[in-house]
Structure 1
Amino acid sequence: MSTTVVPSQAEVDPAVWPGIAGVPSGPRNRIAATVAEKIFATAVNTLELRVIYDDGTILGKPGGGPRPEMRIHRPADFYARLGDNGLIGLGESYMAKDWTASDLTDVIEVFAARAAHLVPVPLQKLRGLYLPKPPRRERNSTANTRSNISRHYDLSNDLFALFLDSTMSYSSALFDATGKDLLQVEWGALAAAQQRKIDRLLDQVNVRQGTRLLEIGTGWGELALRAAARGATVVSVTLSSEQKELAEQRIREAGYADRVQVELKDYRLVEGQYDAVVSVEMIEAVGYEFWAVYFQTIDRLLAPGGRVAVQAITLPHERMMATRRTYTWIHKYIFPGGFIPSVRAIEDVTDRYTSLRVRERLSMGDHYAQTLRLWEERFLARHEEVAALGFDETFERMWQFYLCYSRAGFQAGYLDVQQLVFDRRP
């Protein structure tokens, strides 16, 4: 006779994680939980997924071969969270150990592949009435943006160093592989793939000796370093004090302090003229209502004959429009104030508000899936070091959910990442 050990919630600190330590309750929540259970069961019965309760109950389409398994340990808590906050509750219930998975990415990928169809259409039209809206304090105004950025990027340079490669690049790499070979890339290939991504961006905007380059979003300095090595002078702006500190240290150690200036500054406040502008996965933090300002700022700063390269995570346009006013688990726990654009939205904004035009696009979604796989493997392997930095188990489960949630989106094709090149040619 076998028994199932239900994961404990005892380690969840209510002072740090009040929304995880506590479970929604009350008459309204009981109704919402009942509805959520019915929607979830109906959806699961259309998916290539097996859901197993600890009492042996199984949900899922009959028949078929092996499928990812989701095991629900505390169904009452799971549906209470799901009913209270929709997909935010799905992530929170994982953080609380209400459910576990045979392979977390595989389970989330099943949901991601059918994201537009999981909730019945009539209820989708009512999402604005029952789902939380983005709080105004997370709107990416000049007053709020630094706080939004700090909540993620100022967590700890040491934390990011545990799972990033030696380039400290926190964006999609570009591997020297395609198709099935891409699925086999290993940790040792990541640093070179990150540099390949950066070099392609610099090539596309003709960065060379004497180029005046503006980088919007410093990261930890790798792009500025590689541009300086080509002889460019670089102004790089960030709102993360932690990133600025480490980027400047790396730049000094490489001997390029005379060529690179890192400023703690909102992109909207930058002045000057630049031959090239590069921004890697920063537009996602700009916010839907500020995209026009973002590109107008770039347009204003770009010298005649200059070029722009933007690496951007993207959504299909229809999903972007359907979710643009939705508050998600990613907003609440990972990237407050963020929003992912579509390629169409970028082209529409630049056509309408600027003289910039998209001249080239490279899709790299499969490469991001493998980048995230390597980060996840590295992060999970450094459990003791993460704990030694003061991050508890709930944080680790949150971070694992974030990495797997993101990878699942790219594997399912729900997300993509693009390198877009702009100029002003008629």
Structure 2
Amino acid sequence: MRLLSSLLRSFVKRGKMSVYDADGQLHDFGSGDDGPTVTIRLHDKKLYRSLFFNPELAAGEAYMDGTLTLEGGSTIYDFMFLFSINRAPLGANPVQGLLRRFWRAFRRRQQRNNVERSKEQARHHYDLSTDLYRLFLDEGLNYSCAYYTGPDETLEQAQADKLSHLVAKLDLKPGMSVLEIGGGWGSLAIRMAQAGASVTSLNVSPEQVKIAEERVRAAGVEDKVTFVLKDYREFEGQFDRVISVGMMEHVGIGHLDAYFGKIRQCLTEDGYAVVHSVGRMTPPGTTGPFIRKYIFPGGYVPALSEVFASTERLGLWVCDTEILRLHYYYTIRDWRLRFEERRDEALKLYDESFCRMWEFYLCAVELGFLHGSNMVFQLLLSKKRDAVPIIRDFIVDNERKLDGPG
């Protein structure tokens, strides 16, 4: 316990952490000022060492297997909140700093996402039961950042506003062709088809495509939407517009040029692309070990410096950039609360360990957008400097047309 105690003394500067060790002895860290008080119990002495050397991964795994439990009314959200507001002291710890440098050195190796590996990694997450996602997503099964006009807007409205915002940026005209890279469960494809576009949607998840095809038929736009079970690198064709929402995070740092190169290749000379992705406002980094191992293997949230370096190498115009800072925090907050409300239903689909994993994941990413460096960016990209209207008014004008009066 001595090693772990030394870490927690230097780590907990805000709030207070009370820890019952495996022998039942209580240890307190922090003054309780400017933060929550959280009580945990460690049931295995092996945790002392693993938490010291890799606290994020070890804490997540211990919560999953029940060797770390919360007591005294504390929740996993409280625990993660305390962790998130004390990230700076943790990063200053020499051992943690060394560990981050090690991860950084091997990040390209961790993200060697060839076509087949990328498919396996995507299916690891997206081929889970759709019934799981129905527990916490909106009715349209939008699994990406919504567009909130305020923190109290409903998730359903914010996701509908997100679709309108994206379609408005596409500036679609009747009969235009659109390539969607990463189609999810089909909501955006349906919205684009309803706006008059002919949509080809790429997806590597058979489970998602099956549901998306059902939803497209129910919406009556099956003649305008085609789903293709291919990785973006396997596809050829040219389109008036390309759109990619929540996909670039899965590409991997060593494949940004291939991704943007494919977008460039698939655009007509007068066309342009809309790219929506999670990013970071800090310099390039690494993917957290828990997220990398259990949730999004091969995933990486890029810095804008990495994104723009790639578009520069490929000769793409960045015609517009919009940064959504708190929108994903509100989105994941709503997902987490819905999952908590329906946790008993999730337990019927999967086991207790899975539900704890999902709780840890949702808490971690929510707080990453509240206290960490994560944000979302939307880019408009083109081959030609004049492919996109020269002022942004067209976006708001199109949104008003799409949403109608009121």
- Asked if these proteins are the same fold (TM beyond 0.5), I'd say yes
Q: 5 Å matches for 1:96-111?
A: 96-97=65-66, 98-100=68-70, 102-111=74-83
Taking structure 1 as reference, are residues 408 and 66 closer, same or farther at Cα in structure 2, changes over 3 Å only? Answer: closer
Amino acid of the structure 1 residue aligned with 2:136: F
Structure 1 residues 35-44 or 113-122, which shifts more? 113-122
Choose which of 327, 336, 341 in structure 1 pairs with 2:297. 336
CA distance in 1, matches of 2:262, 2:69: 45
1:145 counterpart = 2:110: no
Amino acid of the structure 1 residue aligned with 2:244: S
Cα offset for 1:279?
A: 0.7
Is the CA contact (8 Å cut-off) linking 2:3 and 2:49 kept in structure 1?
Answer: no
Choose which of 146, 149, 153 in structure 2 pairs with 1:173. 146
Taking structure 1 as reference, are residues 72 and 235 closer, same or farther at Cα in structure 2, changes over 3 Å only? Answer: same
Taking structure 1 as reference, are residues 404 and 233 closer, same or farther at Cα in structure 2, changes over 3 Å only? Answer: same
Structure 1 residues 391-400 or 51-60, which shifts more? 51-60
Amino acid of the structure 1 residue aligned with 2:333: R
Amino acid of the structure 2 residue aligned with 1:211: M
Q: 5 Å matches for 1:261-280?
A: 261-280=226-245
Cα offset for 1:37?
A: 4.1
Paired residue total? 379
- The equivalent residue for 1:359 is 319
Cα offset for 1:195?
A: 1.6
Cα offset for 1:422?
A: 1.8
Q: Deviations over 1:17-63 (max 9, x none)?
A: xxxxxxxxxxxxxxxx754442233212x233433427463433336
Taking structure 1 as reference, are residues 398 and 351 closer, same or farther at Cα in structure 2, changes over 3 Å only? Answer: same
CA distance in 1, matches of 2:15, 2:35: 9
- The equivalent residue for 1:193 is 158
Taking structure 1 as reference, are residues 110 and 84 closer, same or farther at Cα in structure 2, changes over 3 Å only? Answer: closer
Is the CA contact (8 Å cut-off) linking 1:274 and 1:303 kept in structure 2?
Answer: yes
Q: Deviations over 1:250-291 (max 9, x none)?
A: 111111111100011000111111111111111111111111
- The equivalent residue for 2:43 is 74
Amino acid of the structure 2 residue aligned with 1:99: T
TM-score, normalising length: structure 2? 0.86
- The equivalent residue for 1:257 is 222
Cα offset for 1:248?
A: 0.6
1:369 counterpart = 2:349: no
Taking structure 1 as reference, are residues 111 and 297 closer, same or farther at Cα in structure 2, changes over 3 Å only? Answer: same
Q: Deviations over 1:383-423 (max 9, x none)?
A: 2322222x001100100110010101011142111222222
- The equivalent residue for 2:338 is 378
Cα offset for 1:170?
A: 0.4
Is the CA contact (8 Å cut-off) linking 2:274 and 2:380 kept in structure 1?
Answer: yes
- The equivalent residue for 2:392 is none
TM-score, normalising length: structure 1? 0.82
- The equivalent residue for 1:16 is none
Q: 5 Å matches for 1:17-96?
A: 35-44=3-12, 46-53=13-20, 55=24, 57-62=26-31, 64=33, 67-74=36-43, 76-83=45-52, 85-96=54-65
1:304 counterpart = 2:263: no
Is the CA contact (8 Å cut-off) linking 1:34 and 1:83 kept in structure 2?
Answer: no
Cα offset for 1:69?
A: 1.3
**Structure 2: stretches of 5+ with no match in the other structure:** 386-406
Q: CA-atom RMSD, angstroms?
A: 2.5
Cα offset for 1:137?
A: 8.3
Structure 1 residues 142-151 or 76-85, which shifts more? 76-85
- The equivalent residue for 2:278 is 313
CA distance in 2, matches of 1:137, 1:240: 21
Cα offset for 1:99?
A: 3.2
CA distance in 2, matches of 1:304, 1:397: 49
Choose which of 389, 392, 399 in structure 1 pairs with 2:351. 392
Identity among equivalent pairs (%): 35
Is the CA contact (8 Å cut-off) linking 1:77 and 1:93 kept in structure 2?
Answer: no
CA distance in 2, matches of 1:262, 1:400: 32
Choose which of 346, 357, 367 in structure 1 pairs with 2:307. 346
Amino acid of the structure 2 residue aligned with 1:38: S
CA distance in 2, matches of 1:129, 1:347: 23
